[in-house]
Amino acid sequence: MKSEQEKCQAELDEKALIPKKYYGQVFTTDDKLIKKFVQYIKDVYRPGTKIVEIGGGLGYITQALLKEEGFDDIEVVEFDEQLYEILKERFGTIPGSSPGMTNQKTPLSIIKGDILDYKPPEKPYLLVGNIPFHISGKLYRKFMSDETHKPYGMVFITDKQYAKTLAGQPPRCYRISLQAQAYGNIEILDDVPPTSVYPEPKVMCAVMRIMENDIQLPENFWEVVNTHWEHFPTKEVESPKTVGLKGWLELCKNTKIKP
């Protein structure tokens, strides 16, 4: 076990906390990885916007974000009651306040709640964090399909296999792949070995970044996709996984919208 993992375990033991497997709780402990993660965020951050961190945990990533020059506004959404209290104590902030830090230049607010019920801020925002594996699918669908106010980008530590699925191309292009690629341009930036987090997951993780693109889906896009996906093979589509985003967009042009 690396020293960073031991430090995290000691802190959890001191606070009588046991990571909740059913919440998918893991804590990013590798200082070098956290520094690189923050740089990946900084590379695409737009001045004057908000950073929304999913699950502040023990505050390791939050602290690194606060130390970085150039971020204007940070909001942390933490579901776990105990971790929420730890974050408030550690950063001396009042939930919903802005600015909430007395010892930092960057305004910080900490919200207790489920990210799946989160109401996005009015200003443009960047979504970041080490996300729980068990809500990955719901999380991506919620924010990529938000018709009113999508994030302009996402930078996540996530299950590498799931990241590869989102970036999938024919012959392994799934419906979630289409949704992700219609939302934004996907990059798998770095591997995250199990020793970089605590407790160690059984799967390889990765840093993934998705930045919103300007693709406009036609009105009949999902109707066409779902029809062929649920009734294949069809005259036009023998296997849906072999049709990438461009192929579906072309097919939509030649398919009439049902009244």
**Tens of pLDDT, residues 24-41:** 788 999 999 999 999 999
pLDDT tens digits along 53-104: 999 999 999 999 999 989 999 999 999 999 999 999 999 754 444 444 444 5
Q: Is the dihedral of CA 184, 161, 58, 16 positive or negative?
A: positive
Residue 107 token pair: 């305004």
Yes or no: say if 74 and 66 are a contact pair by the CB < 8 Å rule: yes
Kindly list the distances between the CA atom of residue 53 and the CA atoms of 4, 22, 103, 184, 259, in Å, as whole numbers in the listed order: 21, 20, 20, 19, 42
> Can you give the length of the chain in residues?
259
In whole angstroms, give the CA distance from residue 62 to residue 68.
10
**Looking at per-residue confidence, does 16 or 64 come out higher?**
64
φ/ψ of 2, rounded to 5, equals -70, 160
- Classify burial at 122, counting beta carbons within 10 Å of its beta carbon; exposed 0-12, middle 13-18, buried 19 or more: exposed
Task: Round to the nearest angstrom and report the end-to-end CA distance of the chain.
Answer: 61
Show the tokens assigned to 236: 């036009």
* Domain ranges in the chain with CATH number 3.40.50.150: 3-212
Residue with tokens 């916007």: 49
Count how many Cα atoms sit within 13 Å of the Cα of residue 135 in the half-sphere of its side chain.
Answer: 20
| 81: Cα within 13 Å, side-chain hemisphere | 0
Q: Which residues pair with 154 in a beta bridge?
A: 127, 210
Q: What is the mean pLDDT of residues 13-17?
A: 89
Q: Where are the alpha helices (DSSP H) in 167-244?
A: 175-183, 221-231
Per-residue model confidence as pLDDT tens digits over 152-203: 999 999 999 999 999 999 999 999 999 999 999 999 999 999 999 999 988 8
Distance, CA of 249 to CA of 254 (rounded, Å): 9
Cα 114 to Cα 80, 119, 138, 219, distances in angstroms? 9, 10, 12, 31
Residue of 71, 97, 94 whose CA lies nearest to 84: 94
Domain 3-212 in this protein, CATH class = alpha beta
Q: Report the chain's mean pLDDT, rounded to a whole number.
A: 90
